[in-house]
Structure 1
Amino acid sequence: MSDRPVPPRSGAERYLAIRRPVEVGYWLITCLLSAVGNTTTTWMDVERLGLGFAAWEIASWESSSAAALLLLVPAMVWFTARWPVHLDNWHRRLPVYALASVIWSMLHVGLMVGMRKLVYAWHGEVYVFGDAFVYEYLKDVRTFLGIVVLLHGYRLLVRRLQGEASLLVAPDDDSPPVEPVERPARFLVRKLGREFLVAADDIERVQASGNYANLHVRGKVYPLRSTLAELQARLDPERFVRVHRSHLVNVTRIASIEPLDGGDARVHFDDGSAVPCSRRHREQLRTATAA
Structure 2
Amino acid sequence: MTKHSGFTFESFQRWRRGFELAFWPVYFGVNTVLNGMVSVMDHPDSSTWEPWVWESSSAVTMLALIPALVYVSRRWPLRLETWQRNLPLHLAFSLAFSLIHVVGMVALRKLAYALAGSHYVFGEGWKDFGYEYLKDIRSYFWLLVGIGLYRLWVVRFQGEARLLDEPDVGPPVESIEQPERFLVRKLGKEFLLAAREIEWLQASGNYVNLHVRGRDYPLRTTMAAIEARLDAQQFVRVQRSYAVNLEFLVEIEPLDTGDARLLMRDGVKIPCSRRYRTALRDRFGQSAVA
TM-score (norm 2): 0.94
Per-residue CA deviations over 1:134-166 (Å, capped at 9, x if unaligned) read: 000000000000011111111111011111000
Identity among equivalent pairs (%): 49
Partner of 1:249: 244
Residue 84 of structure 1, CA deviation: 1.7
Partner of 2:43: 46
Q: Count residues with an aligned counterpart.
A: 282
Q: Distance in 2 between matches of 1:152 and 1:268?
A: 33
Per-residue CA deviations over 1:206-227 (Å, capped at 9, x if unaligned) read: 0000000000001111000000
Counterpart among 16, 21, 26 of residue 24 in structure 1: 21
Counterparts of 1:79-98 in structure 2 under 5 Å?
79-98=72-91
Q: What letter corresponds to residue 164 of structure 1 in structure 2?
A: E
Aligned 8 A contact 1:265 1:282 in 2: yes
Give the secondary-structure state (helix, strand or coil) at the position aligned to 2:192.
strand
Partner of 1:118: 111
Per-residue CA deviations over 1:72-94 (Å, capped at 9, x if unaligned) read: 11111112112222211111101
Return 5+ residue gaps in structure 1 as ranges.
none
Give the secondary-structure state (helix, strand or coil) at the position aligned to 1:262.
coil
Q: Distance in 1 between matches of 2:2 and 2:208?
A: 29
Q: Distance in 2 between matches of 1:210 and 1:29?
A: 26
Per-residue CA deviations over 1:90-134 (Å, capped at 9, x if unaligned) read: 111011101000000011111100110000001111111132100
Return 5+ residue gaps in structure 2 as ranges.
none
Counterpart among 50, 54, 63 of residue 56 in structure 2: 63
Partner of 1:176: 171
Aligned 8 A contact 1:185 1:201 in 2: yes
Give the secondary-structure state (helix, strand or coil) at the position aligned to 2:120.
coil
Q: Which runs of 4+ in 1 moved over 3 A?
A: 5-10
Q: What letter corresponds to residue 273 of structure 2 in structure 1?
A: S
Q: Distance in 1 between matches of 2:89 and 2:245?
A: 36
Counterparts of 1:1-291 in structure 2 under 5 Å?
7-8=3-4, 11-47=8-44, 52-130=45-123, 131=125, 132-172=128-168, 174-290=169-285
Give the secondary-structure state (helix, strand or coil) at the position aligned to 1:24.
helix
Per-residue CA deviations over 1:20-44 (Å, capped at 9, x if unaligned) read: 2112222111101111101101111
Q: What letter corresponds to residue 18 of structure 1 in structure 2?
A: W
Q: What letter corresponds to residue 229 of structure 1 in structure 2?
A: A
Cα pair distance change 1:181/1:277, threshold 3 Å? same
Per-residue CA deviations over 1:54-78 (Å, capped at 9, x if unaligned) read: 0111110011111111111111111
Residue 178 of structure 1, CA deviation: 3.2
TM-score (norm 1): 0.93
Q: Distance in 2 between matches of 1:222 and 1:8?
A: 22
Coordinate RMSD, CA, aligned: 1.4
Q: What letter corresponds to residue 142 of structure 2 in structure 1?
A: G
Q: What letter corresponds to residue 23 of structure 1 in structure 2?
A: E
Aligned 8 A contact 1:267 1:277 in 2: yes
Give the secondary-structure state (helix, strand or coil) at the position aligned to 2:201.
strand
